[in-house]
Amino acid sequence: MTRLLYALAGVDTARQFSPHVWKTVMSLAHKGLDYETVPVGFTAIAAIEGGATATVPLLRDGEKLVRDSFDIALYLDETYPDRPSLFGGEGGKAMARFIENWSQSTLHMAVTRIAILDIHNLLGAADREYFRHSREERLGASLEDIAAAGRAEIEGFAKKLQPLRNMLKVQPFIGGAGPLFPDYIVFGALQWLRTTAGTRVLEDDDAVALWFRRCLDLHGGVGHHVTAA
């Protein structure tokens, strides 16, 4: 096995929760490529592959190392052009950048606020200390205060997904008839919430909830490999 996916892990290494790693898990499944997962705690990332990256996912594909979920998706499409495309052409590669930034700026801070203590509690002792220190410094508040403010995010969360909800009236995936990388981008954010806090933010019959379940079922149901928290 020459393909390795370095993936963020807590104490239970099977409980994959990083949104960015989930984007890559789905990308590899989309391409039908086998790999071995190497679980890595926050404080162990700097040491992997001779200091190749400060963040995961990191993909080793034979001699090649690629970091960043978007760059990995681009790499996979370029390297395995005979397998199903993740972007559907040059226009898709560009527009997926908009959707990446929409997901990041609209959904990620809300998930962080809602799930921050749950994420903390998944980690081992050294990683907990790192996580608390780095997040409290970045967000300017204690984890407990961020989590308290996070409760207000729960009610407004569904509304943030209105562009996706409206789009689902005309097609079943952001990729059109089937999923493409931007589906995995948004899936990653919601799967992050599902696997950490497990907070219910969508009604069962919400078109976005139905789309999310379609994504969980993709590629042999790889998204179900981790249960909801």
Minimum CB distance to a second copy, residue 177 (Å): 8
Taking the C-alpha atoms of residue 156 and residue 74, their distance in angstroms, rounded to an integer, is 33
> Between the CA of residue 51 and those of 4, 102, 134, what are the distances in Å?
16, 30, 19
Taking the C-alpha atoms of residue 12 and residue 107, their distance in angstroms, rounded to an integer, is 25
Minimum CB distance to a second copy, residue 38 (Å): 28
Taking the C-alpha atoms of residue 124 and residue 76, their distance in angstroms, rounded to an integer, is 32
Contact between 55 and a second copy by CB under 8 A: the answer reads no
Q: Which is nearer to a second copy, 98 or 151 (CB)?
A: 98
Taking the C-alpha atoms of residue 99 and residue 228, their distance in angstroms, rounded to an integer, is 25
Q: Which is nearer to a second copy, 29 or 226 (CB)?
A: 29
Minimum CB distance to a second copy, residue 172 (Å): 10
Q: Which of 182, 187, 202, 211 binds a second copy (CB under 8 A)?
A: 182
Taking the C-alpha atoms of residue 124 and residue 118, their distance in angstroms, rounded to an integer, is 13
Q: Which is nearer to a second copy, 48 or 167 (CB)?
A: 167
Residues 77-116 that bind a second copy (CB under 8 A): 85, 87-102, 104-106
Residue type, 6: Y
Q: Which is nearer to a second copy, 180 or 197 (CB)?
A: 180
Structure tokens given for 119:
């994420």
* Cis peptide preceding 57, ω within 30 of 0: yes
Annotate each residue in 157-176 with x if it binds a second copy (CB under 8 A) or - if it does not, as one string: -----xxx-xx--xx-xxxx
Minimum CB distance to a second copy, residue 183 (Å): 10
Taking the C-alpha atoms of residue 17 and residue 39, their distance in angstroms, rounded to an integer, is 11
Minimum CB distance to a second copy, residue 195 (Å): 24
Taking the C-alpha atoms of residue 197 and residue 219, their distance in angstroms, rounded to an integer, is 24
List residues near a second copy by CB under 8 A.
85, 87-102, 104-106, 162-164, 166-167, 170-171, 173-177, 180, 182
